[in-house]
Amino acid sequence: MKNNIFAIAAVAAFALMATQAYAAGSTTVTVNVSAGVAPSPTDLTAYLNLTPTGDVILNWTAANSSEVFNYVIYKTENYTAGFNFGQIFGKTPDASTTNFTDTSGNATDQRFYVVRTNSTSGQQDSNTVAVGKFNIKLSSGFNLVSFPMILHPGNTTDYVAYIALGGDQIWRYDATDILDPYKKVDYFTGFGWFGDFSILEQERGYWYNTMQPDFTTNQFNWTMTGRVADSTTRQIPIFNGFNLIGVTTLRDQDLNTFWTQPSGGDQVWRYDAFDTLDPYKKSDYFAGFGWFGDFSMLSPGRGYWYNSMNATGYLQGYQP
């Protein structure tokens, strides 16, 4: 009741000042009112807890403000459809708790999260920084993949150790190393990955050769977690000849709008491990006409061979 009286008094005082200002001939009334919105949390990450059920664990750095009451969590299974910020998925008990576990995180192939501060006055910040999980379906043998989200710091090949079997391999292709472009790492049970590289990178495509047997569903999931790329322009280095690339995006990208510098004769190849009779698919670029072939979209989680006729190479920019 006491708070209500103060609120009514404040509104009455403002009304009186506005009336006096208008009577005095003033045309502008400036009112400075504290919005009561606390700053956003930072360093949001998502990790997969493999034991026992594949829960998704969110961690963040607390907002540096005494106005924080707690944190609220929003989720969506379809990032391109957006978040419903009118429906809270979870919340922390207080401002000192900077983690949240989604115990149903393994129920879907994709799930994404935004964490916002809830202030002592009941108002939330408006940040849209998102993290999440994304399942890439693998088949026994070779799979051509890439990373649709930004992997969290580290990005080592240990990132895939949890699904690896002895004999598994990851290959990449370095178009700048003319003498030895193919690089490989092998997985040794109980020891880890050893070979030509230890870092997994954005905008690269990778061949993952898995020893996992084909199950009834003929597939299993490589679940990756990371941060959703924002609207900042990203770049793919393209060199003359073949390039093994990936696209850091959760949206299908139309070939005709994605590639801004194609040359006549350029080709994009993809590999569908589940099409055992005809796994290689190709689209060709015809100058003045566009792309034509087996597919018209670049899809999240897939890797691609890009064969460029451009003699000098270039950086292909794109919006995630």
Residue 159 dihedral angles phi and psi, to the nearest 5°: -55, -30
Confidence class for position 215, pLDDT limits 50, 70, 90: low
Q: Alpha-carbon distance 6 to 12, whole Å?
A: 10
Residue 80 dihedral angles phi and psi, to the nearest 5°: -65, -25
Q: For 235-261, how does the pLDDT look when each residue is reduced to its tens digit (9 = 90+)? A: 999 999 999 999 999 999 999 999 999
Q: For 131-151, how does the pLDDT look when each residue is reduced to its tens digit (9 = 90+)? A: 999 989 888 899 999 999 998
Helix spans in the chain (H): 2-23, 255-258
Residue 221 has a pLDDT of 80
Contact 108, 100 (CB under 8 A): no
Helix (H) or strand (E) segment spanning residue 152 = none
Reported as half-sphere exposure (CB side, CA atoms, 13 A), residue 51 has a value of 1
Identify residue 92 by its one-letter amino acid code.
T
Cα distance between the two ends of the chain: 51
Q: How remote is the C-alpha of 105 from its chain's centroid?
A: 16
Per cent of the chain over pLDDT 90 is 69
Rounded to 5°, angle at Cα 289 from 288 and 291: 125
Residue 160 has a pLDDT of 74
Q: For 104-121, how does the pLDDT look when each residue is reduced to its tens digit (9 = 90+)? A: 888 778 999 999 999 999
Cβ neighbours of residue 253 closer than 8 Å, sequence gap 6 or more? 247, 297, 298, 318
Which candidate, 129, 133, 147, 143, places its Cα nearest to that of 56?
133
Q: For 161-206, how does the pLDDT look when each residue is reduced to its tens digit (9 = 90+)? A: 677 889 999 999 999 999 999 999 999 998 989 999 998 999 999 9
Confidence class for position 218, pLDDT limits 50, 70, 90: low
